[in-house]
Amino acid sequence: MLLTLTLTQPNAAQPGATSPDRFQPASDLGFLLHKHPERLQTQTLSFGTASVFYPQVSAQQTTVALLLEVDPVGLSRTSRPGEGGAPLEPYVNDRPYASGSFLAVALRDAFGTALTGRSKARQALADQALAFSVYLPCITARGPEDLPERLFGPLGYAVQATPIALDPLYPEWGERPYVELKLSGQMRLRDLLAHLYVLLPVLDGGKRHYYLNDAEVDKLARHSAGWLDTHPERDLITRRYLRFAALVRQAEEGFSQSNSSELEQTAPSASLRPRLHDERLRWVADQVAASGAAQVLDLGCGEGKLLRLLLELGQIRQLVGMDVSARALEIAARRLNLRERPELAARVQLLHGSLSYPDSRLKGFGVATLVEVIEHLEPHQIGPLTQHVFGDAQPRTVIVTTPNREYNAVFADGGQDMRHPDHRFEWTRAEFAAWAEAAAQTHGYALTLHGLGDTHPDYGPITQAAVFVRHNG
């Protein structure tokens, strides 16, 4: 993997030039980077070897190269087991050639001091915006084709991203996710390095990032200070970056407390914390409130986040959470403090059960909610679930939320992956609508479809929802 960085000081050598660049030859890049232009410097990193050298040095133009040789066999030894993937995947993969996350880590390692903006010998130059260009012959860019422009353009770069065919002889194999990327702009070196450090992994967006752990998440805060907050793609960048640490998923799914508090500790700032799941739960609670129901059933209640919100609704006299996971129910009981609050025992009940089986305990409710649950069942269980909820239990109102698979294209892996390892499927808007319309028609419900959370102009909302109200309610 190769990255070159070129500094151009066109006036440096012109006699009598009046530009402030006059006395500052481009070869001073060596002072800014703390790397001598005449020396080849090699560093051993945990995933390979990084070399820094200067392919061209002149007063007008100086180029530094960072060459990263990833050791895929060494990597396979340090990879975590049980992550799925093809059997030979640890050995045969594109990481040695294209991974932006490794390159970012190598960049930070090689140019750490420059990234802080300090230069012992040329501080004034380090503080100055200079004419830089960056060349990456091959880098992974997963997701929408215009992503490189969307990420670097707003920061003031001219961006040229050319998709690379997998094999020029076989155009039908397609081109993405690799691009040849050229960036140029007038900026301080420290800003340029910070942009690359944060955005290369965002552009890459691969699933396996052994070296982007919680500590790296913290670094996002440090290296994005001053530019990320006003970046039009701030949410996308944050989401993709945090995804490296696999934290976004856990947050979105509202999984265990330990996981979400882990996120709270490691997320760089409150403004960066993904609020999707909380917003979704709030929306569902509002719908429940609007229904006026006094008996509420939360199907697939998990660890009881929604139950907690619903408890605040005075209108609810009976609140029942049901889940197939006994462990989740134990956690829910603990979170709701059911033992210490005997007054709740009359109002709240937790049931162990499965939506794949008919269950007479589920009858007689005003509202049933299924928040991010259906996608956890096998596709062949959706028919029985629909029958058990709409046909047998027959709550007056049913509220269902589920991911919109189309929106995944915005995510790091360009929609090749589902949002959580336990998801058995994720539906497009059309698939969800088809299921919902059939369920409404068959069982006599009126249906309204909704989109929740961030909405992409082409791919639609991040979360899709349906509210069913029984006709003869």
Binding footprint of ligand SAH on the chain (CB under 6 A)? 253-254, 300-302, 305-306, 323-325, 328, 354-356, 371-373, 376-377
Q: Is the CB of 199 or the CB of 263 nearer to ligand SAH? A: 263
CB-based contacts of 222, cutoff 8 Å, min separation 6? none
Please state the length of the chain: 473
- Which lies closer to ligand SAH via its Cβ, residue 104 or residue 329? 329
CB of residue 25 vs ligand SAH: minimum separation in angstroms? 60
For tokens 């660890």, the residue is 303
In terms of DSSP H, where are the helices of 168-311? 189-204, 214-224, 234-244, 247-253, 257-266, 276-291, 305-311
Q: What's the DSSP call for residue 123?
A: H
In sequence order, the β-bridge partners of residue 49 are: 44, 69
Q: Give me the least distance between CB of 256 and ligand SAH, in Å please.
A: 10
Give me the least distance between CB of 332 and ligand SAH, in Å please: 9
Encoded tokens for 417: 């992956």
Q: Which is nearer to ligand SAH, 116 or 354 (CB)?
A: 354
Which residue, 69 or 278, has its beta carbon nearer to ligand SAH? 278
Alpha-carbon distance of 186 to 161, in angstroms, equals 18
Residue environment code for 384-414, b if the CB has 16+ CB neighbours within 10 A, otherwise e: bbbebbbeebbbbbbbbbbbbbbbbbbbbbb
Compute the distance between CA of residue 254 and CA of residue 252 in angstroms, rounded to an integer.
Answer: 5
Strands (E), 408-470: 445-456, 460-470
Q: Which positions ≥6 away from 383 have C-beta within 8 Å?
A: none
By beta-carbon proximity to ligand SAH, the closer residue of 6 and 402 is 402
Query: Quick one: 301 or 336, whose CB is closer to ligand SAH?
Result: 301
For residues 229 and 220, the answer to whether their CB atoms sit within 8 Å is no
Q: Which CA distances in Å does 246 have to 54, 208, 412?
A: 37, 9, 11
**Contact between residue 452 and residue 465 where contact means Cβ atoms under 8 Å apart:** yes
- State which residue, 216 or 323, has the beta carbon closest to ligand SAH: 323
Rounded least distance, CB 85 to ligand SAH, Å: 24
**Which DSSP string do the residues of 17-60 spell out, in sequence order?**
--SGGGG--GGGHHHHHT--TT--EEEEETTEEEEEEEEEE-SS
Residue 378 CB, shortest distance to ligand SAH, in Å, is 9
Closest-CB residue for ligand SAH? 302
Residue number with CB closer to ligand SAH (148 or 321)? 321
At position 323, the amino acid (one-letter code) is: D
Minimum separation from the CB atom of position 371 to ligand SAH (A) = 4
Tokens matching residue 227: 């530019």
CB of residue 242 vs ligand SAH: minimum separation in angstroms?
19
Q: How many CB atoms lie within 10 A of CB 150?
A: 18
- Give the nearest distance from C-beta 109 to ligand SAH in angstroms: 39
Give the whole-angstrom CA distance, residue 209 versus residue 248: 14
By beta-carbon proximity to ligand SAH, the closer residue of 21 and 323 is 323
Interatomic CA distance for residues 467 and 446, integer angstroms: 8
Among 283, 340, 293, 341, smallest CA distance to 320 is for 293
The answer to whether the CB of 289 falls within 8 A of the CB of 315 is yes
Residue closer to ligand SAH by CB (options 178, 435) is: 435
Taking the complex as a whole, how short is the minimal distance between the CB of residue 197 and ligand SAH, in angstroms? 34
Closer residue to ligand SAH (CB): 95 or 305:
305
Find the shortest distance in angstroms from Cβ 349 to ligand SAH: 15
- Least separation in angstroms between CB 366 and ligand SAH: 18
* Complex with ligand SAH: residue 74 or 383, whichever CB lies closer: 383
Least distance in Å: CB of 376 to ligand SAH? 4
Residue 108 CA to its chain's centroid (Å): 21
d(CA 404, CA 389): 22
